[in-house]
Structure 1
Amino acid sequence: MTHNQFSGGQARNVVQAGSVGRIDLTVPAAPLPEPDPDARRLAGLVGGQWRAEAAARGLFGPLPLPVPWRTEHRLADHPELTGAPPDEVGTRTRPAEIAEMFLALPERRLVILGSAGSGKTSLAVLLLIELIDRLGPQDPVPVLVPLASWQPGKQRLREWFAERISKDYPTVPVARLLAERRLLPVLDGFDELPPELRADALRAINRDLTPGDPLVLTSRAEAYRRAAEGSRVLHASAAVHSRPIPAAGVTEALRHHAGPQHLARWQPVLDEIAAHPAGPLTRTLANPLFLGLAREAHTAPADLLRFPDRQSLTDHLLDRFVPALAPDAVRTLRDIAAHDEPDIAWWRLHWRVANLFTVSKWPWVSIFVATLSGLAVLYSYSPYAALVYCTVTITVCSLTLGLGSGGYEGLLRLKGRLNPVVHSTPGKIAALTPLLLGPLFALLLASTRTLGLMTPVSLVGTVSVQCSLSALLLLTIRRWARQSARSMSVEEQSSPAAALRAGRRRAVTMGTVVGSVSYAVLCVGLGGPQLGAALWCSLLPAALAVFGSEWGAYTITRLLLAAAGRIPLRYAAFLAEAHRLGLLRRVGSVYQFRHESLRERLAQQAP
């Protein structure tokens, strides 16, 4: 019998000649694909952030709330597109079961529906954590973002999503991961969009989706149903709808919360639930939000029996929650709820006073004042005129750029949500022009002092040197900042405090660069005994770079509102403490009220 042996190398065909008996063929397994290092790092950041947030919200308790989730075919797409059996009406209570259902969908698109406070966001967070725990080398990384800040008519979903994630995770190459389908958007709060935009938003989401793009969307059921009537449901999506917690589940949750030591105080409530399983108390506490409020904010549970209907009981629970946990913060939180959007972001605080500066005339007023001041310098050659010019220009430009547009960072973003002052290209040019007038007139002053006459060659040469030095310094500092940011912890890269520190670093860096370059150029131009004037003139452009930034706009607005008694002086620390107490929730680099119902109730009570 012939025995042939083949080992090593590669071959398309192997032929054995002679008497052929039993053949044993061993084929080595194909190597597993390598996971993308950036996707893996993002998964660590997202998973760490949301595990900490879920623990802060009490979602990892020993007895999770048994919220039933039922398949909703009426607001899902055709069964042949979703891949879900048309006759399935199963009820699931564990996030692992929802994750298995989601992963079995061909397109992996799921809409999470329910009433206000039914646990939609909590399920989205637990689903995200479950998916990250099961993440394979080629699986997309789920990232949860609130949808309230998206403007469908002005920005595509992909662009907004990439910009939003880049704000939360600045060291991650979001654009590349999104282009390679390594991200799974978890869009929270579709119902928080303005009602007149919801149908357009759903239409825009369907238009941007391509085959194979996964998506998770949460919404109140009625808002989603009306939007679908104006467009259509999410393409190839399945849907789940929350059901009320059964009376037995409510009783069990309250018993475990009370413990043996306080069970007697809760016994009247337990008896009322047992006696009237369809009564207003039971129906109210069957909602996870109000069950949580009752457990956390009530030291006298018998007070819950005083209310005859659901509306009065829900109002009582919402009104009692903030004073029970932070009585000194009620006025400030009401003011924030009335004036801020659902996302409480430090870089948007300037909107509280922006109506004084965002009218269309202010950029042109800034240009006009800067031009007159510059002409005064050129005609008089007076150092006093130069001082007046610099002071007036810096003041007007800082207020215009900082309070009017929220900082030059927003102006330099060609894509994204822009403030009213820079919606159009002329508006961008008008708002950016004051930034250019300061260095230009400073150079004119320096050259006329030295040469007695400004020549085109000297002007072009000086401007070129200044721009080259500025670009070199900025690129060097930017590279150093990116390298140092990669070693930051999860908490530092995905928190409002980290975003505030990053904004302050950007402002100080820009101020240092502008001030240093301006001083160097002015020293060359003025020379000799005029170095003191050069120092003074370089400090003012540096101040413009600092206070005309997002962090500068936040700082000016914070001081103004604190002086008026509208917010605490230590605003960031106040928000962090409210989050620690459970009044706010953290979503990446922004805060939100614990629930939209709480924000709406506080806004109604604001003076």
Structure 2
Amino acid sequence: MTDPDPDPNAGGVESGPGYSDSDDRVSRRRDSVSGNAFHGPTAFQVGDHNTQHIHHHIAPADPEDALGGTADELARVVGAQWQEEAGLRRLLEPAPLPVRWRVSERKVAGRVVGATGEEAGRARFGPLPGLGPATRDRIRDGGGLSELHAVYGGLASGRLLLVGAPAAGKTAAGVLLLLDALVHRAARAAPADRARVPVPVLLSLDGWDPGEDSAVDWAADRLTREYTLFHGRGGRAHARQLLEQGRISLFLDGLDEVTGRLRGAMVGALETAPFRLVLVSRAREAVLTAKKTRLGGALAVEIQPVRAADAAGYLLNRLPSAPSPAWEELTGRLLAGAGPLATALTSPLSIALLRDVYGDDDPVDELLDTTRFPTPAAIENHLLDHAVVAAYAQRPGHPRPRYSARTAERTLRFIAARLTQEGTRDLRWWHIPGWTGHRPRMIAVWIVSAVVCGSPGVILAWILTTNLLPTVSGTLAAMAGGYGIARRAAALSVPQPLSSAGWRDIFTRETVLAGVRQWMFVGTGLCLGIPLVSDDAPPFWLWYLVTLPIGFSEVLVTGRGYDIVSRIPFLSAGVGHYDKVREDYARPPVVDTRSVSPRDVWRHHIGLRLCLGLLTGCALGLYIGPILAWTLFPLLGAMVAVTALLWTGAASGLATNLAVATALTAVQLHYEEGTPVRLMHFLEDARRRNLLRATGPVYQFRHTRLQERLAARSMPE
């Protein structure tokens, strides 16, 4: 058996092969949608999610339509984002499976005429330009992706509920529908027509509390955090305007992953939303929710099982023109429609796994053995059990995998078991420090910080006094300081929120002006006041130099950097006056809007926090060192400045850095569980091999069944 193509353009969603009505539609998507996504999650983020600052200069499509340029740019960003993600999830290549749907017969929505508006005689949403109204006759027989887009764009209620069985390909269908909606919008050349076609945006419902925020408020916040287009002054207001004017349509995934009571509250809150809506859910959860709360005016359509002919054609398309006898026999049996194999391959997940696990010349006909594989579940479990090995097998013409299949499977089993134990699908890397005991890391941080940060002070004490007592005192002080830093680092073992603070969040125009005012006030006051009480005052420029850190600390404490200087001597003086600021940022957003993938978010946190920690250390050194150097002697000032820099940098840049804590935990897990030392690198590699997928800064297994199977196999017999 050979591995799936590890090319970055390979991926899988909910299951695997994507859907399409024709190859032409796929090529049109490529030609018609362009732009920039700041996240490979994703600028999108599903779950607890994040991003990188990319500034676009937007010219409004119509001078009288101030939001037209914003909407057009959002369409380009979303198109590029999901074009990339669809490629990574293998929704476009090779020729995808067709999507087929029918109006659901489950009790998940009201009457069809309530959605089409035929009896009421009026529509909440008019048909999109170029599309006709969705009527009972037009939707009665179901159809494919093009018909689904016609329903989406012509439904009078603007409420479409997309349901299906687990692994039916609901998310894949939603993504392809979104891309078709973008293609349709791009085809509207006239700005007036384009303004009437909303920009589809896919979000996860994770993290929304309808009791706290309305649908518009929540969506505006998510758009602001996840798309740099809405950053800066007035960004959230623009997002809200687009939503209120119906110029954005929301594709909401993950309703089935929300707890029951919250699902009902979400559905109730969405009923009055002023925008078009596509809600994706597993059928069972949708039925349970509808017993308490139904989405008024919604049309429920259900994704149908894959037809045998479609599955056989899809598998044969990736094989040589003359397939091996084993593949010929398997596809022949599949077309005959008999046995557990035919039942198993009605699921896109199983089809994708079969394609990944078995190569052109592998004995795929072994799956026809009903003694070994008596049920469809047995076939699916067999494919799931070999998915990791296939992904990490050496493939001719491709680089050797960085990790062995044994290491990969051991690591993924450990992760799956941990997530299952926590009752979640989301692998939040900033929660990894809580996966193992913190004591070994605490001891290591204690020793390293005491030695590295304490050495300059001990050396200084010895040089100044050549006496044993100050040297011993300095050593004890270094040990105490190292213990304090270790305690701060150990606190990150408790799950923390992922702050979204970045350079432009901290150094805003307002905070920088506040810092400059504070600096000039204090520096000028000292320049004017000190000469009145001392004849041997330092020159005025020195006062402006040593008071610069006061301005720097003012910048931090008036913005999202207040916790950087908290508990830092001198710089934290007066921070208590900023309780309102801390209250405003007590619940930091869970999305870091400066990175492109979970690994990039991790790198961003390392770089930002370390740099700010060093800047804070430099500020404290600048605050103390020059005065000591001027009044006493230069060596003392320099050594004190270096000591302040090291201790402050360690306390504010390392000890409280979630990314550093995650990296240290990865080293500890390597020795305890045999996982890779570079765990974040491994997770990204597993994503490229289609075992994981990314939703913002969060990783997930490509499908719940894969997580469940790996977790079950990690348990002792």
Q: Same fold (TM over 0.5)?
A: yes
Q: Distance in 2 between matches of 1:226 and 1:566?
A: 42
Residue in structure 1 matched with residue 613 of structure 2 by the alignment? 511
Residue in structure 2 matched with residue 132 of structure 1 by the alignment? 182
| TM-fit CA distance, 1:69 | 0.8
- Summarize the Cα distance change of 1:398–1:140 in structure 2 as closer, same or farther, 3 Å threshold: farther
- Summarize the Cα distance change of 1:204–1:563 in structure 2 as closer, same or farther, 3 Å threshold: same
Letter in 2 for 1:396: R
Residue in structure 2 matched with residue 303 of structure 1 by the alignment? 366
Secondary structure of 2:551's counterpart equals helix
- Summarize the Cα distance change of 1:168–1:603 in structure 2 as closer, same or farther, 3 Å threshold: farther
| TM-fit CA distance, 1:227 | 2.0
Residue in structure 1 matched with residue 711 of structure 2 by the alignment? 603
Q: Contact 1:338 / 1:602 at 8 angstroms: preserved in 2?
A: yes
| TM-fit CA distance, 1:388 | 4.2
| TM-fit CA distance, 1:462 | 13
Q: Distance in 2 between matches of 1:132 and 1:126?
A: 10
Secondary structure of 1:538's counterpart equals helix
* Greater mean deviation of Cα atoms: 522-531 or 579-588: 522-531
Q: Distance in 2 between matches of 1:331 and 1:469?
A: 47
Q: Contact 1:403 / 1:557 at 8 angstroms: preserved in 2?
A: no
Q: Contact 1:67 / 1:288 at 8 angstroms: preserved in 2?
A: no
Q: Contact 1:406 / 1:553 at 8 angstroms: preserved in 2?
A: no
- Summarize the Cα distance change of 1:492–1:477 in structure 2 as closer, same or farther, 3 Å threshold: closer
Q: Does 1:187 align with 2:252?
A: yes
Highest RCO, 1 vs 2 (Cα 8 Å, sep ≥ 6): 2
Q: 2:143 aligns with which of 92, 103, 109?
A: 92
Q: Distance in 1 between matches of 2:300 and 2:438?
A: 41
Q: Distance in 2 between matches of 1:185 and 1:105?
A: 15
Q: Distance in 1 between matches of 2:221 and 2:672?
A: 33
Q: Contact 2:271 / 2:295 at 8 angstroms: preserved in 1?
A: no
User: What does the per-residue CA deviation read over 1:3-39, in whole Å, with 9 as the maximum and x for residues that have no partner?
Assistant: xxxxxxxxxxxxxxxxxxxxxxxxxxx9873554444
- Summarize the Cα distance change of 1:170–1:187 in structure 2 as closer, same or farther, 3 Å threshold: same
Q: Does 1:284 align with 2:365?
A: no
- Summarize the Cα distance change of 1:540–1:59 in structure 2 as closer, same or farther, 3 Å threshold: same
Q: Distance in 1 between matches of 2:594 and 2:240?
A: 26
- Summarize the Cα distance change of 1:162–1:559 in structure 2 as closer, same or farther, 3 Å threshold: farther
- Summarize the Cα distance change of 1:134–1:347 in structure 2 as closer, same or farther, 3 Å threshold: farther
* Greater mean deviation of Cα atoms: 173-182 or 573-582: 173-182
| TM-fit CA distance, 1:537 | 2.8
Q: Does 1:338 align with 2:417?
A: yes
Q: Distance in 2 between matches of 1:354 and 1:42?
A: 44
Q: Contact 1:168 / 1:589 at 8 angstroms: preserved in 2?
A: no
| TM-fit CA distance, 1:258 | 2.5
Q: Contact 1:495 / 1:589 at 8 angstroms: preserved in 2?
A: yes
Q: Does 1:242 align with 2:303?
A: yes
Q: Contact 1:283 / 1:310 at 8 angstroms: preserved in 2?
A: yes
Which structure has more helix as a fraction of its residues? 1
Q: 2:662 aligns with which of 554, 560, 566?
A: 554
Q: 1:581 aligns with which of 681, 689, 699?
A: 689
Return the TM-score normalized by structure 2. Answer: 0.61
Q: Distance in 2 between matches of 1:497 and 1:315?
A: 30
Letter in 1 for 2:645: S
Residue in structure 2 matched with residue 349 of structure 1 by the alignment? 432
Q: Distance in 1 between matches of 2:418 and 2:276?
A: 35
- Summarize the Cα distance change of 1:100–1:114 in structure 2 as closer, same or farther, 3 Å threshold: same
| TM-fit CA distance, 1:290 | 0.7
Give structure 1 stretches of 5+ with no counterpart: 1-29, 358-379, 413-460, 479-490
Return the TM-score normalized by structure 1. Answer: 0.71
Q: Contact 1:110 / 1:216 at 8 angstroms: preserved in 2?
A: yes
- Summarize the Cα distance change of 1:85–1:278 in structure 2 as closer, same or farther, 3 Å threshold: farther
Secondary structure of 1:260's counterpart equals coil
Letter in 1 for 2:672: A
Residue in structure 2 matched with residue 218 of structure 1 by the alignment? 280
- Summarize the Cα distance change of 1:154–1:338 in structure 2 as closer, same or farther, 3 Å threshold: farther
- Summarize the Cα distance change of 1:113–1:41 in structure 2 as closer, same or farther, 3 Å threshold: same
Residue in structure 2 matched with residue 8 of structure 1 by the alignment? none
Secondary structure of 2:200's counterpart equals strand
How do 1:49-448 and structure 2 match up within 5 A? 49-61=81-93, 63-72=95-104, 74-79=107-112, 81-83=114-116, 85=135, 88-94=139-145, 96-135=146-185, 136-137=194-195, 139-148=197-206, 168-170=226-228, 172-173=230-231, 175-180=236-241, 181=243, 182-193=247-258, 197-207=259-269, 210-229=272-291, 231-275=292-336, 277-298=337-358, 299-306=362-369, 307-326=373-392, 327-328=405-406, 329-340=408-419, 341-353=424-436, 383=474, 386-400=477-491, 402-406=492-496, 409=499
Secondary structure of 1:262's counterpart equals coil
Residue in structure 2 matched with residue 535 of structure 1 by the alignment? 642
| TM-fit CA distance, 1:256 | 2.1
Q: Contact 1:245 / 1:287 at 8 angstroms: preserved in 2?
A: yes
| TM-fit CA distance, 1:41 | 3.5
Letter in 1 for 2:614: T
User: What does the per-residue CA deviation read over 1:76-129, in whole Å, with 9 as the maximum and x for residues that have no partner?
Assistant: 2344542264564222222x3222211112343222111111111111111121
Secondary structure of 1:259's counterpart equals coil
* Greater mean deviation of Cα atoms: 597-606 or 585-594: 585-594
- Summarize the Cα distance change of 1:81–1:274 in structure 2 as closer, same or farther, 3 Å threshold: closer
Residue in structure 2 matched with residue 48 of structure 1 by the alignment? 80
| TM-fit CA distance, 1:507 | 0.9
- Summarize the Cα distance change of 1:350–1:33 in structure 2 as closer, same or farther, 3 Å threshold: same
Q: Distance in 1 between matches of 2:546 and 2:263?
A: 46
Residue in structure 1 matched with residue 34 of structure 2 by the alignment? none
Q: Distance in 2 between matches of 1:163 and 1:403?
A: 28
- Summarize the Cα distance change of 1:535–1:591 in structure 2 as closer, same or farther, 3 Å threshold: same
- Summarize the Cα distance change of 1:254–1:204 in structure 2 as closer, same or farther, 3 Å threshold: closer
Q: Contact 1:343 / 1:592 at 8 angstroms: preserved in 2?
A: yes
Q: Distance in 2 between matches of 1:564 and 1:124?
A: 41
Letter in 1 for 2:386: R
Q: Distance in 2 between matches of 1:332 and 1:494?
A: 24
How big is the alpha-carbon RMSD for the aligned residues of Structure 1 and Structure 2? 3.7
* Greater mean deviation of Cα atoms: 590-599 or 178-187: 178-187
Q: Distance in 1 between matches of 2:710 and 2:321?
A: 35
Letter in 1 for 2:481: C
Secondary structure of 2:322's counterpart equals helix
Q: Distance in 1 between matches of 2:218 and 2:413?
A: 29
- Summarize the Cα distance change of 1:498–1:323 in structure 2 as closer, same or farther, 3 Å threshold: same
Structure 1 vs Structure 2: percent identity of aligned residues? Answer: 28
Give structure 2 stretches of 5+ with no counterpart: 1-61, 117-133, 186-193, 393-404, 441-469, 503-543, 562-592
Aligned length: 490
User: What does the per-residue CA deviation read over 1:545-587, in whole Å, with 9 as the maximum and x for residues that have no partner?
Assistant: 2220232332232232233235311222212221222222233
Letter in 2 for 1:51: Q
Letter in 2 for 1:92: G
Letter in 2 for 1:318: L
User: What does the per-residue CA deviation read over 1:460-497, in whole Å, with 9 as the maximum and x for residues that have no partner?
Assistant: x999975532344799999xxxxxxxxxxxx9953233
